[in-house]
Structure 1
Amino acid sequence: MELGSGPYAEPVWTRTLLAWHIVFWALLTVTAVVSLLPNELTGREHVVLLALLAVLGTAYALIGSPAMTTRRRPPSHGYRVIAILCVAAVVAIYPQAVFLMFIASPQIWLLADRARDGVLFSLLLLVGVGTGQLYGAGWTLSAFWNILPWMIISLVVSMLLGIWIDRVIAQSQQRADLIEELESTRDELAGAHHSAGVMAERERMAREIHDTLAQGMTSIVMLAQTASVELSRGGATAVAGRLSAIEDTARENLAEARALVAAFTPVALSEATLTEVLRRQAERFAAETGVDVQVTLDMPDDEVASLPQGQQVVLLRAAQESLANVRKHAGATSVLITLTMSADGVGISVSDDGTGFEPSAAAAGYGLAAMRGRVEESGGSVQVESAPGRGTRVQVLIPSAGQESS
C-alpha cells in the first residue's frame, strides 16, 4: 500500500507505535525475569528460553517494528512467522508464558492487509501455541481436552479483537485521507482565490491606467499636434497657450501616476468636489477640442459633495471615459454632463450630438468594457443609447449604500 505525502498520509497505527513498543518490551522483559525465578526449568531450558526471547526481540527490532512503520509486506510476513514459532517454542518450554500470545495476536492484525490475512496468521498462532502447550503437558488426551476450550475462546477473542483493529484502522485511514483531501482542496481554493485576486488587481490597474494616464497622454498628443500646426502658421501666442496646457496636463498625469502607485483617491477629487472636477474637465476638454461641454446638476451641490468617495470616483471615471470616446469617435459639437439623484440612486449622464454608432459594435472597445466593469463592481449599471447620425447618451446609475448592501 502506497502512502501519500501529506501530514495525514501516515497510517494511523504508526502514530501509536510507542505504546505498542512499550507493551511488547515490557512483556518480553517480564517473561525473561519470571523465567529466571526458581521453577522447574533446567539450565539448558533456561538458555533455550532466553535465546528464543532474544530472537523474538531481535526480529521485532529489525523486522517487525520497521514493517509496522513502512507496511512492507514481505518483511511483515517473515516477522509474523518468526513470532509465531518463537512464542510457540517458549510456551512449549515454559507454559506460563502463554500470555505472550496477547502481544503476538495484535501485531498480526496490525500487519495484516486484509482480514483473510489476519485470520490465517491468527489460526497459525493458536495452532502453534496449542501445540506448545500439548508438548509441555506430555501429549496426553486429557491435556488436549483441557486446552481445547481455552484455544476456542482465544480464537474467538482474537478474531473479535482483530476485526475491531482492522475496522478502526480502516476508518482512521479513511478519515486521514479525507482530511488530506480537504486540506488539498483548501490549498487549491486558496491558490485559485489568489490568482483571481491577482487578475482582479491587474484589471483594476488596467482600468486606472486607461482612465487616467492613457487619456492624459492622448490630450498631450493632441495639444502638441495643435501647437505644431499653430507654430507653422506663426501663432506664437496660441502656441504658448498650448504649451501651457500640455504642461498642466503632464503635471496632472504625473500626479495621477503617483496616486495610482500609492492606491490613493484620484488627485483631482482629493483637492476639489466632484462638481468642480467635472467642470474643470469640461473646460479643459472644450479648450482642447473646441467642443462645447456643459455640466448641470439635478441635485444640490452639497449632496454631491456628501457622496461616498468610491461613488464619486466611479462617476468621475465614467465621465472621463465618455469624454474620451467623444474625442476619439463622436465628432460632436456639444456635450452635456448631468449629475442626477433619484430613488434608485445617484447617476451621471453624458450626451453628445455626434455621429453615433451601433451600441452592439462597442462591445469590443476596452474603454466601455472597463467602464462597465468598474460600475458593476459598485453594484451599478451602464446604459448606452445611440444610433448612427443621432448622437450618443451614456447613463451610469449607482444604487445608494443601503440599496447596494441589500
Structure 2
Amino acid sequence: MEQPIEEPVWVRTLIGWHVVFWSLLLVSAVASFLSNLSAGRRGAYLGVLVLLAVLYHLLAIPAMESRRRLPSHLYRLLVMLCVATAVGLFPQSIFLLFIIAPQIWLLSESLLDGVLFSLLLLLAVGTAQLWAAGWGMEALREILPWILISLVVTTLLGVWIEKVIEQSEQRADLIEQLRTTRDELAEAHHTAGVMAERERMAREIHDTLAQGMTSIVMLSQTAAVELSRGAVDPAAARLAAIEDTARENLAEARALVSAFTPVALSGATLAEVLRRQGERFAAETGVDVQVSLDMADDEVAALPQGQQVVLLRAAQESLANVRKHAGATQVQIRLGLSADGVAIEITDDGSGFTPSAEPSGYGLAAMRGRVEESGGTVSVDSAPGRGTRVQVLIPATGQEDC
C-alpha cells in the first residue's frame, strides 16, 4: 500500500547530512594526527570534536526532525563555540564551516534568524583565527575580507536552502491535497458505482422476478376461483401456467446471480421472445395481444445484445402496467427500424391516464432509467379513456452493454 509523504524534505535527506558531518569529523581527527600539533593541543582538539559529535547526536538531529526552537538555538550557540575553539586550536579545521554553515540555515526559522546566526558563527571563527595568529593588524586585514566574503556566500547559500525547504513544503502540501482529492473522488466514484449497481439490480428484479411473482399471484387467484366453481380443467391449466412462470422466474434469478442477460434471450431472438410474451400475456389475462415486426427476423437478431435487453424490458414493463392499471382488451406490440434507430411501441385500448401525473411506482421510472442509459428516449402518449401508447427509441449507436 502506498505510504503518504508526510516528512519534510530535510527529514527525508538527513542521512546525507549525517554522512557528511561524520566524514568531516573523521577527516578533521585524521588531519590533526598528520599535523605538527602538540600532544596537549591535539588532545584538546579531539575533545572538541567528540563534543561536536555528542551535540550533533543529542541536539541537532532532534532539532532537524522537529525544528523545535530550544534545541535548535542551543545547538547553534554551542556549535559556534566548539568550531571557534577547534579553529583556535587547529586553524586548518576551518573547513568544518562547510557543514556547520548549512546546518545554521537548515535550523533557522526565518531569513533574519539565519543571517544573525551566520554572522555570529563567522565572528566567532574569525576571532579564533585572530587569536591563533596573535591578534595582529596584519592578521585582521587578512581575515576581515574572508569573513565578509564568507558572510555573503553563506547568506546566498542560506537563501537557497530556505527556498528549497519552502518549495518542498508547498509541494508536499500540494501532493497531500491531491492525494486527499483523489481519495475523495475514488470514494465518490465507488459510491456512485454501488448506487448504479443497486439501481440496475432493482430494475432487473422489477422487470423479471417481481412481474413473474405478480403473474403467479393472479394465476393462483384465478385458479382458486375456477376450483370453487368446479372448473377442474381450466384450473389445471392455470396451475400449469403457474409452474411455467415459476420455472422461468427461477431461471431468471439464477441468471441475475451470474449475469444480466435475460434467460429468454439466451436461446431465442427478440422477435420470438416478444411473440411468446404476448401469447403468455393473452393466456393469463384474456387480453388480445398482437405482435408485429416492421423489420426482418435477421435484422432483429443482428441487434446488439444490450439493445435487445432494453427493448424486451420495455415491452415487459408496458405489459405489466397494462395488467395492473389499464383494464385493456387489446394490446399491440410493434418493433421496427426508423431513421434514428430501432423502436418498440406498445399500444393498448385501456383506461389511460394523464402523462403529467404518471402512476406512482417503480416501473416507468425504471424503464426511463434503463433506456436513457443506452442513449435512448421514452415517449408516453395517453389520456383518460383513450388508452396508452409507449414508444421506446434506441439510437443505432446505442451502447452495447446496458
Deviation at 1:264, TM superposition (A): 4.2
- Counterparts of 1:243-392 in structure 2, within 5 Å, are 243-362=239-358, 364-392=360-388
**Equivalent pair of 1:354/1:389 in contact (CA under 8 Å):** yes
Cα distance in structure 1, aligned partners of 2:393 and 2:400:
11
Aligned to 2:77: 81
**1:36 paired to 2:33:** yes
Contact preservation (8 Å) 2:341, 2:393? yes
Which of 224, 227, 246 is equivalent to 1:228?
A: 224
Q: Once the two structures are superposed, what CA deviation does each residue of 1:248-282 show, in whole Å capped at 9, x if it has no partner?
A: 00000000000111114211111211111111111
1:294-350: per-residue Cα shift (whole Å, max 9, x none)? 111111222111111111110000000000011111111111100010110000000
| 1:25-56 residue CA offsets vs partner (Å, 9 max, x unmatched) | 111111112122342x3333222211111100
Q: Are 1:8 and 1:177, in contact at CA under 8 Å, matched by a contact in 2?
A: no
Which consecutive unaligned segments of at least 5 residues does structure 1 have? none
Give the superposition deviation at 1:176.
2.5
Moved more, 139-148 or 345-354: 139-148
Residues in 1 aligned to 2:213 and 2:4: alpha-carbon distance in whole angstroms: 55
Moved more, 361-370 or 162-171: 361-370
Quote how far apart the aligned CAs of 1:113 are.
2.3
* 3-state SS of 1:401 partner: coil
2-side partners of 1:198 and 1:402: how far apart? 23
CA distance in 1, matches of 2:383, 2:194: 38
- The one-letter code of the counterpart of 1:49 is Y
Identity within the alignment, %: 71
SS in 2 for 1:260: helix
TM-score (norm 2): 0.96
- Measured in 1, the distance between the counterparts of 2:43 and 2:103 equals 26
Partner secondary structure for residue 356 of structure 1: coil
Listed as ranges, the matches of 1:118-133 within 5 Å are 118-133=114-129
Equivalent position SS for 1:7: coil
Find the aligned partners of 2:360 and 2:173 in 1 and give their Cα distance: 48
Q: CA deviation at 1:403?
A: 9.7
Q: Which deviations, in whole Å up to 9, do the C-alpha atoms of 1:199-227 show, x marking residues without a partner?
A: 11111000000000000000000000001
Where does residue 135 of structure 2 map in the other structure?
139
Moved more, 387-396 or 70-79: 70-79
Q: Kindly indicate whether the alpha-carbon contact (under 8 Å) linking 1:349 and 1:393 is maintained by their aligned counterparts in 2.
A: yes
Match of 1:7 in 2: 4
Q: CA RMSD in A?
A: 1.8
Q: Using the TM superposition, give the Cα deviation of residue 353 of structure 1 relative to its aligned residue in structure 2, in angstroms.
A: 0.8
Counterpart of 1:19? 16
For structure 2, the 5+ residue unaligned runs are none
Q: Where do 1:20-169 residues align within 5 Å?
A: 20-39=17-36, 41-169=37-165
Q: Give yes or no for the alignment of 1:172 onto 2:168.
A: yes
Report the secondary structure of 1:151's partner residue.
Answer: helix
Contact 2:317 2:367 in 1 (8 A): yes
Aligned equivalents of 2:222 and 2:20: distance in 1?
95
1: CA distance between counterparts of 2:84 and 2:32? Answer: 16
Q: Whole-Å Cα distance in 2 between the matches of residues 305 and 18 of structure 1?
A: 70
The residue type paired with residue 48 of structure 1 is A
Q: Aligned equivalents of 2:399 and 2:315: distance in 1?
A: 23
- One-letter code of the match for 1:321? E
Shifted more, 110-119 versus 218-227: the winner is 110-119
CA contact (8 A) 2:375 2:398 kept: no
In structure 2, the CA distance between the partners of 1:335 and 1:327, relative to structure 1 (3 Å rule), is: same
For the Cα contact (< 8 Å) 2:307–2:399, is it kept in 1?
no
Task: Indicate the larger mover: 199-208 or 279-288.
Answer: 279-288
C-alpha distance in 1 between matches for 2:284 and 2:386: 24
